Structure 1
Amino acid sequence: MNNYIAVLDRQHLENTIFLTSFARSLAQQKTRKGIILHGDSEYTDRLIQTGMMREDAEIRAIRDLNRRLIGLFADQGVSAIGLNGYQKGLIRKVENELIFDKKGYRELPETPFLLLSNLIENDQGEPLKIDLPELTRFLVKELKEHDPVIFSMSEKDELMGSGIKDLNISDLSEDQITEMIPPEFRNYPSNFYLLSPSGFGQWPDIRKGSIIRNN
């Protein structure tokens, strides 16, 4: 099993119980094994209600969430580096093509953990929000040895079982998909791991989890 890109989706970013459990799972891991990726949350909508334009609200929310998550992790004894994708020119979009600075990424320290947002750099050198599934798939392709990890929407172990379950998304019922898979990733075109936050703490020795295939 490879390293991971662990994705904190929009719904989970509003769930304090989940985030605390996730931070505790990180505390069980001694060294960084990948990237923790996040976008915005319903916090964006609350900023819009104050009169902010959507684009400005998204950028503000994502930046704030990056800082807040670093603080939450610290409360659980987890040290992390918080970066937005545009910082250090790490991820850029040039003429509609995404570019990843692999050299810059490799120069980052192996510890502490790396928390990365989906704010990348546009042609004008300004922050640009990119869809979380698109960025996830791009980084999986660029880093090659990193598997995408998505977190279940349900605390039930219906798809988690004893040992890894290998499932095709076409074999799941609509109710299972709705209950277990975050909305942003229900149409994700590639395979991913579906885990609980507590199960993630055992990575790569995952006792409960599923591989969800899209082929």
Structure 2
Amino acid sequence: MLGVGDENGQLLNNLVQIGAGEGKSITLGVTAAILALLGFDVHCACYSKYLIEKNYRELLPLFDSLGVAEYIRYGTINKFYEDMINRNGNVCQMVEELISNNSNEVSKSSEPDARAKILLIDEVDALLNKNFYGNMYTPSARLRDSSITSLIDFIWNQRILILNINEVKDSDEYKVCCNRFPNWEPLIPEAVKDLINDVNIYTIPEYVLKEDKIVYKEQDDIAYNIVHGPGR
């Protein structure tokens, strides 16, 4: 798995099967420690937040004793996606600032990667289910502005009528929103079309109330930052 004895001495992609009770988490942790000692940044990913955090807590003393804890990260597969997307700055936050400020440029951090990266996946078979394999990970930015709220309220309050894009464009709420975001005016009609479609096919997806918040199930955990569109 580590390329020991290989003629070229290269690290290649590997799929390793370890039976239940045969030390899978220990093998994963030792492998991560060795790779970190060899100069890699190691990401250990799993579908389950509970399992991955439990394994990390148990192996952290080993990583600390070897001085490699800062080079080993344990997290869910979704967390790994987020870290990769946001490695030069929080993309969602940058998009919010870009639009809210009516700007055409955004500042981002660009720090060179000092160490090569290695990805270790626990419970790799979970990647073959419909939530991962062939699916898309689509982070989104949420814009908050009174003009947007007024426009959404207008469309929602008129949902009983058969609205079309031209009727919405004639409304004062639409014009105020366009004046608020002049650099992004071409995108507003497309967003309005989605809103009109949404109110026509609106359904309530299954959710859970926790701490006075609406949350949705994500694998074996719940998530506070998931938003479902209509009919999903």
- Structure possessing the higher radius of gyration over alpha carbons: 2
Relative to the length of structure 1, the TM-score reads: 0.28
Higher strand share: 1
TM-score by length of 2: 0.26
Name which structure has the greater RCO, CA cutoff 8 Å, separation 6+.
1
